[in-house]
Amino acid sequence: MTDNNSPVDAPLVKIRNLSFSRGSHRIFDGIDLDIQRGKVTAIMGPSGTGKTTLLRLIGGQLRPDVGTVEVDGQSVPQLGHNKLYQLRKRMGMLFQNGALLTDINVFENVAFPLREHTRLSDRLIRTLVLMKLEAVGLRGARDLMPSELSGGMARRVALARAVVMDPMIMMYDEPFTGQDPISMGVLVRLIRSLNDALGLSSIIVSHDIQETAAIADYIYLLSGGKVVAEGTTDDLYKSESAWAQQFLQGEPDGPVPFHYPARDFTEDMLDLPAGEAN
């Protein structure tokens, strides 16, 4: 599934000097990042660091202000409409809330990409869909509507839909948020086993440390628009970076301040002008 121009050992996704802003808020400030083929790579960081934005930049839904985003040797921001859509056929993305189409049932949701992009017979589509639903344990839920599913089930259906076209890369946007422990365990195992069984490359965007660290081959920690630490799980736990330690240990205060910037507490409580509290 690799592009002819792209050697097999080259990173599947190569991001260089990427900067991106929304209005006056700078989300990324010159980050470099590689996603290796066949690996599970995690992008971690506190909420609001632009992890989801990064997935949208890789998927071509957003364009960077500066820098390059290459997927399988192709520069995503420079692709025209048709080439971008061709590339997306080889990408799968699991959205945070599943993003299932609410007017069709579970079976049709998983069959949707096949019906849109292939001319396979109904019989073959049925076989493929049931295989993917079996993999996520929801073959029996094929006739349910999305509104009848729990959050965890919806995410598993969305996962089946995301892999139904056998993509080369899977992107997971906060896959563990809001999951009960059983669903969480199921998802963790599924992501790892799908990656290995289907020969995918996976990107997990998350702030759930334990679950992500358990299955990630390589982790990038983002904060303040920059990559503040990177490495394998062991590397990061051994890292001397105060930022990495604060994030991994879940400490409330450190390089990432607990308090949102505000004026002096005493001044604020007494409603005094700045500098008069003392």
Partner 1 sequence: MLDSLQSLGRKALNFFQRLGRGHILLLQILAGSHTLLPRFGLVITQVFSVGVLSLLIILVSGLFVGMVLGLQGYNTLVDFGAEESLGVVVSLSLVRELGPVVSALLFAGRAGSALTAEIGLMKATEQLSAMEMMAVDPVRRVLAPRFWAGVISMPLLAAIFSAVGVIGGYFVGVGLLGVDEGAYWSQMQAKVDLHEDIYNGVIKSIVFGVVVTWIAIFEGNDAVPTSEGVSRATTRTVVHSSLAVLGLDFILTALMFGD
DSSP states of 137-153 as a string?
A: T-GGGTT--GGGS-HHH
CB-based contact 95:113 (threshold 8 Å):
no
Q: How many residues bind partner 1 (CB under 8 A)?
A: 24
Q: Which of 5, 24, 47, 102 binds partner 1 (CB under 8 A)?
A: 102
**Distance of closest approach, residue 245 Cβ to partner 1, in angstroms:** 34
Binding to partner 1 (CB under 8 A): which residues in 146-175?
158, 161, 165
**Integer Cα distance of 72 and 97 in angstroms:** 27
Region of residue 99 (phi > 0: left; psi between -120 and 50: alpha; otherwise: beta): left
**Integer Cα distance of 36 and 50 in angstroms:** 21
CB closer to partner 1, 5 vs 102? 102
Q: Which of 1, 66, 101, 214 binds partner 1 (CB under 8 A)?
A: 101
**Distance of closest approach, residue 47 Cβ to partner 1, in angstroms:** 17
CB closer to partner 1, 30 vs 77? 77
**Distance of closest approach, residue 41 Cβ to partner 1, in angstroms:** 18
Dig out the tokens for 16 from the structure. 């260089």
91 binds partner 1 (CB under 8 A): yes
**Integer Cα distance of 27 and 22 in angstroms:** 7
Dig out the tokens for 31 from the structure. 């980050």
Q: Name the site residues for partner 1 (rule: CB under 8 A).
A: 59, 61, 81, 85-86, 88-89, 91-93, 95-97, 99-102, 112-113, 116-117, 158, 161, 165
